[in-house]
């Protein structure tokens, strides 16, 4: 290297020193300016390939998926949670678009690399992420992604529930108001007509009472405020009690009620909850069966007991059968409402059965429908 070749560099160094000491702006010349940007570029590249342990420790400690996106738009480093977002399980070196396939996220990262912080929700095929993008010094971007799929689903379920419940409550309230207004408008003075409207009010008030009770039960069950207290329950006795309660309704329809429960089958269950489960099942069987019989059966199945409510009704088609335990789900909403149903009976029965450590399932065909309740056996509990 000749002394001449060093001259522009030496001159630039002198000029820069003078500027930093308060002198005028140093004109470095094009060669030296290029040299300085090459040196900077080399530093940045070196930095891009280095995994800083302190940075790694910080990212691993974050509760969210976290990544640092470098100036070239690629993930420089990330934590394990972020790696799981990538199809191959490794996100470093990929662009956020390659990792998530979300154009919206890719666009937001570009904007963040230009310096503006952003927050956005990204919908992936199977999950929803709440993403925060923060520009960092050195022109990089910190990407934090929180999985809000479950939160969103719970919020949607709550919204649906409130909408459904309001809709269900509105119908009887409107009917009561209509009947009361008709009475006040003159029907009170015509005894025959008055009786019809008072009967409507009575029927709809009963429906309201059933609905509010079911809603209360369901809300206590779903928020786990229902206290289950298990004790030995004799299934033959329980079947007799529940069938007796449905005697009058079955008699009116000409339905036979039968108990085919051997004596000596004792379940370990909450007596009140189990009675409600069987009551709801027999109630449905009687409601939806036009002719034939409703039978309660029970048998020991290994460690468990199985109680079945069988009817000779119209049956439930398979695509409905998969959904009947959902709250407010009805096969034929008009007919079910007419029959006095709230659409909550099976949802409550299912929660109650599960709360006692059991399970409830349904099978249906041309011969009718069978609901099976699996219960703990009292003898398997040692008592």
Q: CA dihedral in degrees (268, 269, 275, 280; nearest 10)?
A: -110
Q: Which residues contact 218 (CB under 8 A, 6 or more apart)?
A: 327, 344, 347, 348, 351
CB of 291 to ligand ADP, least distance (A): 13
Closer of 70 and 369 to ligand ADP (Cβ): 369
CB of 290 to ligand ADP, least distance (A): 11
Specify the stretch interacting with ligand ADP by CB under 6 A; choose among 9-17, 187-195, 198-206, 345-353.
Answer: 345-353
CB of 215 to ligand ADP, least distance (A): 12
345 is a site residue for ligand ADP (CB under 6 A): yes
Strands 118-123 and 75-78 turn out to be unpaired
What are residue 363's DSSP bridge partners?
370
Burial (0-12, 13-18, 19+ Cβ within 10 Å), 382: exposed
Residue 279 has which token pair? 């009551």
Specify the stretch interacting with ligand ADP by CB under 6 A; choose among 17-25, 70-78, 257-265, 306-314.
Answer: 306-314
342 is a site residue for ligand ADP (CB under 6 A): yes
297 is a site residue for ligand ADP (CB under 6 A): no
**Of 133, 278, 308, 343, the one binding ligand ADP by CB under 6 A:** 343
96 is a site residue for ligand ADP (CB under 6 A): no
346 is a site residue for ligand ADP (CB under 6 A): yes
CB of 116 to ligand ADP, least distance (A): 51
In the range 357-376, which residues lie near ligand ADP by CB under 6 A? 369
Closer of 183 and 346 to ligand ADP (Cβ): 346
Which residue's C-beta sits nearest to ligand ADP? Answer: 341
Taking the C-alpha atoms of residue 311 and residue 370, their distance in angstroms, rounded to an integer, is: 7
133 is a site residue for ligand ADP (CB under 6 A): no
Q: Are 169 and 160 in contact (CB under 8 A)?
A: no
313 is a site residue for ligand ADP (CB under 6 A): yes
Distance linking the first and last C-alpha atoms of the chain:
98
168 is a site residue for ligand ADP (CB under 6 A): no
Q: Are 44 and 71 in contact (CB under 8 A)?
A: yes
Closer of 347 and 360 to ligand ADP (Cβ): 347
Closer of 351 and 374 to ligand ADP (Cβ): 351
Q: Are 139 and 72 in contact (CB under 8 A)?
A: no
Measured CA distances, 78 to 118, 204, 382 (Å): 19, 61, 54
308 is a site residue for ligand ADP (CB under 6 A): no
Closer of 50 and 163 to ligand ADP (Cβ): 163
Q: Are 312 and 366 in contact (CB under 8 A)?
A: no
282 is a site residue for ligand ADP (CB under 6 A): no
Question: Which runs of E-coded beta strand occur in the chain?
Answer: 65-69, 75-78, 118-123, 128-135, 141-147, 231-234, 256-260, 266-269, 293-301, 304-311, 359-365, 368-376
Taking the C-alpha atoms of residue 68 and residue 133, their distance in angstroms, rounded to an integer, is: 10
Closer of 266 and 344 to ligand ADP (Cβ): 344
When computed from its CA atoms, the radius of gyration of the chain, rounded to whole angstroms, is 36
Task: Identify the H or E element spanning 211.
Answer: helix 191-222
Burial (0-12, 13-18, 19+ Cβ within 10 Å), 66: buried
In the range 315-334, which residues lie near ligand ADP by CB under 6 A? 316, 324, 329-332
Q: In the 8-state DSSP scheme, what is residue 87?
A: T
CB of 115 to ligand ADP, least distance (A): 56
Closer of 96 and 345 to ligand ADP (Cβ): 345
311 is a site residue for ligand ADP (CB under 6 A): yes
140 is a site residue for ligand ADP (CB under 6 A): no
341 is a site residue for ligand ADP (CB under 6 A): yes
Point out which residues bind ligand ADP (CB under 6 A): 284-285, 288, 311, 313-314, 316, 324, 329-332, 336, 341-347, 369
């Amino acid at each position: 290297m000749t002394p001449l070749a060093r001259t522009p560099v030496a001159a630039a160094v002198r000029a820069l020193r003078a500027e930093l000491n308060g002198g005028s702006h140093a004109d470095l010349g094009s060669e030296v300016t290029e040299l300085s940007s090459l040196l900077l570029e080399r530093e940045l590249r070196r930095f891009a390939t280095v995994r800083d342990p302190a940075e790694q420790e910080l990212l691993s400690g974050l509760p969210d998926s976290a990544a640092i996106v470098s100036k070239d738009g690629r993930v420089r480093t990330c934590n394990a949670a972020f790696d799981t977002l990538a199809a191959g399980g490794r996100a470093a070196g990929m662009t956020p678009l390659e990792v998530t396939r979300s154009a919206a996220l890719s666009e937001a990262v570009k904007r963040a690399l230009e310096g503006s912080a952003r927050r956005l929700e990204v919908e992936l095929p199977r999950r929803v992420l709440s993403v925060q993008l923060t520009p960092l010094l050195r022109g990089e971007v910190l990407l934090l992604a929180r999985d809000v799929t479950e939160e969103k689903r719970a919020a949607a379920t709550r919204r649906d529930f409130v909408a459904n419940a309001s809709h269900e409550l509105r119908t009887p309230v409107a009917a009561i108001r209509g009947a009361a207004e008709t009475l006040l408008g003159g029907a009170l003075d015509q005894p025959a007509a008055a009786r019809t409207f008072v009967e409507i009010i009575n029927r709809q008030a009963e429906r309201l009472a059933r609905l509010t009770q079911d809603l209360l039960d369901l809300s206590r069950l779903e928020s786990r405020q229902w206290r289950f207290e298990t004790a030995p329950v004799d299934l033959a006795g329980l079947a007799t009690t529940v069938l007796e309660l449905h005697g009058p309704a079955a008699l009116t329809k000409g339905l036979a009620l039968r108990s085919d429960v051997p004596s000596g089958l004792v379940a370990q269950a909450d007596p009140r909850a189990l009675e409600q489960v069987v009551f709801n099942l027999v109630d449905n069987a009687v409601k939806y069966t036009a002719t034939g019989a409703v039978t309660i059966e029970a048998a020991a199945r290994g460690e468990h007991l199985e109680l079945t409510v069988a009817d000779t009704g119209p049956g439930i088609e398979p695509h409905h059968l998969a959904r009947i335990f959902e709250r407010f789900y009805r096969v034929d909403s008009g007919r079910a409402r007419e029959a006095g149903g709230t659409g909550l009976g099976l949802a409550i029965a299912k929660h109650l059965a599960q709360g006692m450590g059991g399970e409830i399932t349904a099978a249906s065909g041309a011969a009718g429908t069978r609901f099976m309740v699996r219960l703990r056996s009292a003898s398997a509990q040692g008592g």
